[in-house]
Amino acid sequence: MTRQPPVPPRGARSQRTRSSSQLRGWLRHHRAMGADSARRLLRQPLGSLLTMLAIAIALVLPAALWLMLDSARLLDAELDDSATLTAYLEPRVAEGEAGRIAEAVAAQSGVAGTRLITAAEGMAEFQQALGLSDALARLDGNPLPASIVVTPDDPAPAAVRQLARSLEALAGVAEVRLDLAWLERLRHLAELGRRVALALGVLFGLGVLLVVGNTIRLAVESRRQEIEVVMLIGATHAFVRRPFLYSGAWYGLGGGLLAWALLALGNQWLATPVRALAASYGASFTLPQLGLPGSATLLICSTLLGWLGAWIAVGRHLAGIRPR
Amino acid sequence: MIVFEHVGKRYGGRFEALANLDFRVRRGEMVFLTGHSGAGKSSLLRLIMCLERPSRGRILVAGHDLARLHPSQVPFYRRQVGVVFQDHQLLFDRSVFHNVALPLEIRGMAPREAARRARAALDKVGLLHRERALPIELSGGEQQRVGIARAVVNKPALLLADEPTGNLDPQLSADIMALFEDFNRIGTTVMIASHDLALIARLRHRTLRLREGRLVADEEAA
């Protein structure tokens, strides 16, 4: 049982119903303007399509570059696993002794695995790789030393260098070569690419803002009389801005969808030659796909950019429109 | 309802549109504002609508000190003032009904309630049968009545009109004025700027006369 208070809190209640009906009215206006701005876009299909295409083209380049870098990152991760050191033994070390050194190396901390390549095996690999069997056969003896390929536990460059130093201290080891230099070069290259992609992304994002901003500016201009009238009878700036923000968001979303389609088309277009190229290197490499998270990111970013461009354009113009 | 205290308005530093205006309009009054064109009638109405701010003095409307009104509050203030414009200011791409319902849409009123009130307002000005028409299909007098319906649909306490009979023949003008008197009878404060002196003389309401931006006469109804 609840007892009614003697005096119902009329003020508070009416305040609450008013704010909830205001919220409903606000949501209703959002729905109405979302639909209305979509209709306005569809009423001029060619113009809208051209604007969206301009947005799409501005988005495709940075998105494609980003995709490429993403696949480079994947490649990088794979290469991390293959980061190895090669310890070359002194030429005078006999085969039996080489085996013992290999065991000593394997016993070192930070070593995940070792593989001994005897002088003869080294020669065979060399011949096969270079196809110079005739020339090498003419040599007097085998000039190659035996070597031990070491796979480190931790592929981080600092850890690998540390390991190299401790291996070099072992008796019978002449020299330890790191296969890091080119890996680092690749990493620097990837970092460079990432920065270029980011800069391009920012530039082309600005381009999208300008395209949407200009389109919305024209829309505001063409509806100037309507804006003046609704402001005369008590419309807030938010009310006036709303349909244009939705237009901007629709342009952005449309541009994002077109960019997505262009990327998919480009992927199809390039897939065959890329596969053939990769096959010629004896590798299998497929072009990276956007996937679900990538597609969602692209669409959300493009929609937000469109919305933001509209916001800037309308904000600039509302300041200039005063009811007469 | 309306209080002007030593109000002056200059444009561009030199031209003095209004000078030292001092008057009060009580709640529920009906007041005419007369004077030649350029006497400052429109400037005065623009000040009350908060379209412009006075250069000097203080204006109180329904308890609001207009000088203290923050720009973000101005839209909410305007919703309390119904305005009929000489050039109607209708939207020509939407129907009569939607023009009248526009202030309610701006307020965020539920469509059913808004439709009911818009129809009631249209009925009051005798245009309910034209609700689906576009404003361009209406005569000047009918367009003015749509403007009036839109001004009163919010049930404002204050109704302003700037030359509402500017381009109408005498009979239509009398009809329009009769409409304003109807709204005044149910308690709305009405202020009408007009230079139709013959019509004003016949209607017998308080009249504020402006000349070159100054209040030269304040005549109570005879």
pLDDT digits (tens, 9 = 90+) for A204-243: 999 999 999 999 999 999 998 899 999 999 899 999 999 9
How far, in Å, CA of B169 to CA of B137, rounded?
19
CATH number at residue A125: 3.30.70.3040
Using CA atoms, how far apart are residues B192 and B32, in angstroms rounded to an integer?
5
Is-contact B119 B111, C-beta < 8 A?
Answer: no
Residues A202 and A58 in one domain: yes
pLDDT score for A131: 65
Rg (CA), chain B: 17
Look at residues A199, A205, A302, A224 and name the one whose alpha carbon lies nearest to residue A260: A302
Res. A315: pLDDT tops 80 = yes
Same domain, A66 and A196: yes
Residues in A 294-323 with any Cβ partner in B closer than 8 A: 322-323
Number of other residues whose CB lies within 10 A of the CB of residue A97: 15
Statement to judge: residues A64 and A213 lie in one domain: yes
pLDDT higher than threshold 50 for residue B74: yes
- Comparing CA positions, the residue from A180, A179, A181, A170 lying closest to residue A89 is A170
Question: Domain boundary residue among A122, A157, A179?
Answer: A179
Residue A25 lies in a domain: no
A5 part of a folded domain: no
**What is the total count of domains within chain A?**
2
Pairing of strands B214-219, B206-211: antiparallel
Question: pLDDT, tens digit, for every residue of B17-52?
Answer: 888 899 999 999 999 999 888 888 888 999 999 988
Residue A164 confidence (pLDDT) above 50: yes
> Could you tell me if A165 and A199 lie in one domain?
no
Q: Which residue of B has its CA nearest to A27?
A: B108
- When CB atoms are compared, the residue of B83, B106, B150 closest to A239 is B106
Q: Is residue A11 part of a domain?
A: no
Q: B149 pLDDT exceeds 90? A: yes
Chain-chain contact of B103 with A233 (C-beta, under 8 angstroms): yes
pLDDT the model gives residue B220: 82
> Domain check: are A190 and A252 in the same one?
yes
Position with higher pLDDT, B44 vs A146: B44
Statement: residue A2 has pLDDT above 50: no
Which pLDDT score is estimated for B83?
Answer: 93
How far apart CA A146 and CA A137 sit, in angstroms, is: 18
Q: What is the mean pLDDT of residues B52-66?
A: 90
Q: Which of B89, B146, B148, B152 to mutate to test the interface with A (most CBs of A within 10 A)?
A: B89
Q: Chain centroid to CA A188: how far?
A: 17
User: Which residue has 């008057």 as its token pair?
Assistant: B23
Residue A203 and residue A169 share a domain: no
User: Is A223's Cβ below 8 Å from some Cβ in B?
Assistant: no
**Listing from the earlier edge strand, what are the strands of the sheet with A111-117?**
A111-117, A147-152, A85-89, A173-178
The candidate with the shortest Cα–Cα distance to B129, out of B145, B140, B113, B114, is B145
Q: Which of A26, A225, A323 sits opposite B108 (nearest CB)?
A: A26
Which sign does the torsion angle of CA A72, A76, A78, A82 carry?
A: positive
Q: What's the average model confidence in pLDDT over A296-318?
A: 93
Domains in chain B with CATH codes: 1-80+160-222 (3.40.50.300), 86-155 (no CATH)
Of A122-126, A268-272, B142-146, B168-172, minimum mean pLDDT range: A122-126
What is the model's pLDDT at position A143? 75
Q: Which of B183, B193, B195, B185 is nearest to B160 (CA)?
A: B193
Angle subtended by helix axes A224-232 and B96-107, to nearest 10: 60
Residues of B in contact with A223 (CB under 8 A): none
Helix, coil or strand: residue A82: coil
Based on the fold, state whether residues A233 and A166 are members of the same structural domain: no
> Residue written as tokens 């329009």?
B176
A66 and A197 together in one domain:
yes
User: What interface predicted TM-score (ipTM) does this complex get?
Assistant: 0.88
Closest chain B residue to the Cα of A26, Cα to Cα: B108
CB A212 within 8 A of CB A313: yes
Q: Answer whether residue B63 shows pLDDT above 60.
A: yes
- Residues A3-41 pLDDT 10s: 444 444 444 444 445 577 778 888 888 888 888 888 988
- Check CB contact under 8 Å for B78 and A21: no
Same domain, A120 and A243: no
Going along chain A, which residue ranges are E strands? 85-89, 111-117, 147-152, 173-178
Report pLDDT digits (tens) over B155-210.
Answer: 999 999 999 887 788 888 888 899 999 999 999 999 999 988 888 888 889 999 99
Q: Answer yes or no: do B90 and A323 touch at CB < 8 A.
A: no
Residue A66 in domain: yes
pLDDT band at B2 (very low <50, low <70, confident <90, very high): very high
| 3-class secondary structure, B82 | strand
- Residue ending a domain, choose from A141, A159, A179: A179
Chain B: give the shortest CA distance to residue A21, in Å: 8
Residue A19 touches partner B, C-beta closer than 8 Å: no
Instruction: For chain A, give the mean pLDDT.
Output: 82
pLDDT band at A133 (very low <50, low <70, confident <90, very high): low
Read off the pLDDT of residues A101-115 as tens digits, 9 standing for 90 and up: 888 888 877 788 888
Cβ-nearest to B78 among A21, A22, A234:
A234
Residues A150 and A189 in one domain: no
DSSP 8-state secondary structure symbol assigned to residue A145: P
Residue A40 domain boundaries: 33-78+185-318
Best of A24, A233, A239, A322 to mutate (most B CBs within 10 Å, chain B): A233
Which H or E element spans position B9?
A: strand B2-11
Order across the sheet with B64-65: list the strands: B15-25, B2-11, B56-61, B64-65
Chain B residues with beta carbon closer than 8 angstroms to that of A231? 75
Last residue of a domain, one of A129, A154, A179: A179
Lowest mean pLDDT among A180-189, A209-218, B30-39, B86-95: A180-189
Task: Flag whether A20 is in a domain.
Answer: no
> How many Å apart are CA B173 and CA B171, to the nearest integer?
5
pLDDT on residue A13: 42
